[in-house]
Amino acid sequence: MLEVKDLRVRFWSRPEKYAVDGVSFHMDDGEILGLVGESGSGKSVTAMAISGLLPRRKTETAGSILLDGREMLNADREEVRKIQGKDLSVVFQEPMTSLDPVMRIGPQVEESLRIHTRMNALERRAAALSAMEEAELRDPEIVYEKYPHELSGGMLQRVMIAAAIVSEPKLLLADEPTTALDVTIQTQILELLKKINREKGTTILFISHNLNVVRKLCSRVAVMHKGKIVEEGTAEAVFYHPQDAYTQRLIAAIPTRDKRLR
Ligand SMILES: Nc1ncnc2c1ncn2[C@@H]1O[C@H](COP(=O)(O)OP(=O)(O)O)[C@@H](O)[C@H]1O
Ligand SMILES: [Mg+2]
């Protein structure tokens, strides 16, 4: 489904350093892969490259990103627009930065339907309400009419997830979707992503700086450090038998009380 090969990205503002420095990994249909690493290790830049969101003029890229056989790296704008929100959706850490503060929630959840389908307003509303229900937002009809500032952080993240799944993408990129949330809400969102994966078969790339969070959700984990993947394996193997020194340090940094099994 996704095949990333020797991906390299550098920003012209910092040409001496590759933000992503030769990253390769693949994702199978329906799996949840965790991409973990400390802040600045290149996770978000990798996700942006996959989604076609890297600023063209500011970056130099090399390598290949095949999504169902189509090259995403340097795909033209039109091609990216066709894929964004339909075959692939992204959920970011800060819902407030992705949502329009002066627009009601409903139309924002429907956005990708307006772009990618010929549904009429009634059909879009029905699809949005159903996605919101799937994202476990209580009273979707009421939330539909609200503005972003009227909702809590956890609800906003559910809104983002609803907007991401409304057009039933095959691949969901979730970049630190729970980092800004408190622990209880964080667990609920992880459960929600698991449910979407299980029920819809959505393939999920889950990005986090927190290996303990990744372990709860993902069967396979790739560890990133300074723009490179330093270790990859099943969540259990990486967690219990880390081979790389950097992974070992990541694990050592997890508080003992959090290390107990789920
Ligand atoms: N717009 C940008 N301009 C210049 N450098 C950037 C930009 N965005 C990210 N970087 C650099 O790329 C590297 C990887 O960043 P990022 O992918 O955001 O890390 P992560 O998501 O793992 O925290 C960092 O060194 C960061 O400073
Ligand atoms: Mg990031």
Is pLDDT above 80 for 142? yes
* 203-241 residue pLDDT tens: 999 999 988 889 889 999 999 999 999 999 999 899 899
The answer to whether 106 and 145 are in contact (CB under 8 A) is: yes
Report angle CA 6, 236, 184 to the nearest 5 degrees.
Answer: 100
Task: Enter the tokens of residue 99.
Answer: 């949502």
User: What rounded mean pLDDT belongs to the chain?
Assistant: 92
* 150-191 residue pLDDT tens: 999 899 999 999 999 999 999 999 999 988 888 888 899 999
* 61-81 residue pLDDT tens: 999 999 999 898 988 888 888
Dist CA 147 CA 131 (whole Å): 18
259, amino acid identity: K
Report angle CA 171, 45, 18 to the nearest 5 degrees.
Answer: 140
pLDDT for 158 = 94
Report which protein residue has its CA nearest ligand 1's atom 18: 44
pTM, two decimal places: 0.93
SS3 165: helix
pLDDT for 178 = 87
Segment 43-52 mean pLDDT: 94
Q: Could you tell me which of 131, 33, 134 has the C-alpha nearest to residue 85?
A: 131
Task: Specify the ligand 1 atom closest to the Cα of 46.
Answer: 17
Q: Could you tell me which of 242, 226, 98, 257 has the C-alpha nearest to residue 163?
A: 98
Ligand 1 midpoint to CA 76 (Å)? 23
Q: Could you tell me which of 238, 236, 122, 224 has the C-alpha nearest to residue 175?
A: 224
Is pLDDT above 70 for 199? yes
Ligand 2 midpoint to CA 138 (Å)? 29
Task: Specify the ligand 1 atom closest to the Cα of 175.
Answer: 21
Ligand 1 midpoint to CA 182 (Å)? 25
Phi-psi region of 197 (alpha: psi -120 to 50; beta: other; left: phi over 0): alpha
Pocket of ligand 1 (CB under 6 A): 11, 13-14, 19, 37, 39-45
pLDDT for 262 = 45
For the chain, the 3-state helix, strand and coil shares in percent, each to the nearest 5, are 45, 25, 35
- Mean pLDDT check: name the lowest of 85-89, 163-167, 206-210, 251-255: 251-255
64, amino acid identity: S
